Amino acid sequence: MPSMTNPTADLFGTPLLPGLAYRDALIDLDEEAMLIARIDEQDLAPFQFQGWLGKRLTRSFGWHYDFDTSQFGATDPLPDWLLPIRQRAAAFAQLPEEALVQALLIRYDPGAGIGWHRDRPVLEHVVGVSLGVPATMRFRRRKPGGFDRVAVPLPPRSVYHLSGEARHDWEHSIAEMEVTRWSITFRSFTASARPGRR
Ligand SMILES: O=C(O)CCC(=O)C(=O)O
Ligand SMILES: [Fe+2]
């Protein structure tokens, strides 16, 4: 058996999904424990959408998107403890660190997941770090008579980067799990939507 170095590529290294890049072990176990503790000490709020409360708990830095008004507003700057992680996430995605102007912390308690969606169109790059437990990010794209589907394993401490087709043409979701998972996602704005530096 050839060793499987990249579960998001086939044996020839061709990505399962154009625009999806992935690597294991962006951070080590100590860093992961630190990040989980930091997320847990935040004032996390249930994700809200038109009076509906999602089970996942979130906090945004840099920019906050209000799903009720469909507006982005400035919020607290990224805290110091997130900066080295953003730096590594940006280096992985080959982006300037300052381009990743938004950070979203999420805790998915048992029974929480995230339904099918594309991230807001004003956002461009999405770089996500998974913490705690393995999860699967599912992707789907409508085609005549159904969907193309791809499932991508996200081990704890791994990082993924969504851009291009994976970001704009495919929806993604994470099924509800029985154990707690945490994630940190960093995002950039599209050039036309960029509300200013922060
Ligand atoms: O938890 C994750 O890794 C994904 C979160 C996500 O898709 C989102 O916040 O848009
Ligand atoms: Fe998303």
Q: What is the interface pTM, i.e. ipTM, of the complex?
A: 0.98
- Nearest CA-CA partner of 172 in 151, 196, 195: 151
Q: How far is the centre of ligand 2, averaged over its atoms, from the C-alpha of 163 (Å)?
A: 12
Q: How far is the centre of ligand 2, averaged over its atoms, from the C-alpha of 167 (Å)?
A: 9
Q: Which residue has the higher pLDDT, 190 or 174?
A: 174
DSSP assignments along 7-22, one per residue? TTB-TT--BSSTTEEE
Residue 112 CB–ligand 1 contact under 6 Å: no
Mean pLDDT of 161-174: 95
Q: What is the pLDDT of residue 198?
A: 43
- Structure tokens that stand for 185 in this block: 């996602």
CB-based contacts of 190, cutoff 8 Å, min separation 6: 121, 122, 123, 124
User: Nearest ligand, CA of residue 56?
Assistant: 1
CB-based contacts of 121, cutoff 8 Å, min separation 6: 190, 193
Residue 184 CB–ligand 1 contact under 6 Å: no
Domain ranges of the chain: 20-48+63-193
Q: How far is the centre of ligand 2, averaged over its atoms, from the C-alpha of 117 (Å)?
A: 6
Residue 114 CB–ligand 1 contact under 6 Å: yes
Fold of 20-48+63-193: Jelly Rolls (2.60.120)
Q: What angle do CA 149, 152, 157 make, to 5 degrees?
A: 160
Ordered alpha helix ranges (H), the chain: 29-40, 83-93, 164-168
pLDDT digits (tens, 9 = 90+) for 100-159: 999 999 999 999 999 999 998 888 999 999 999 999 999 999 999 999 999 999 999 999
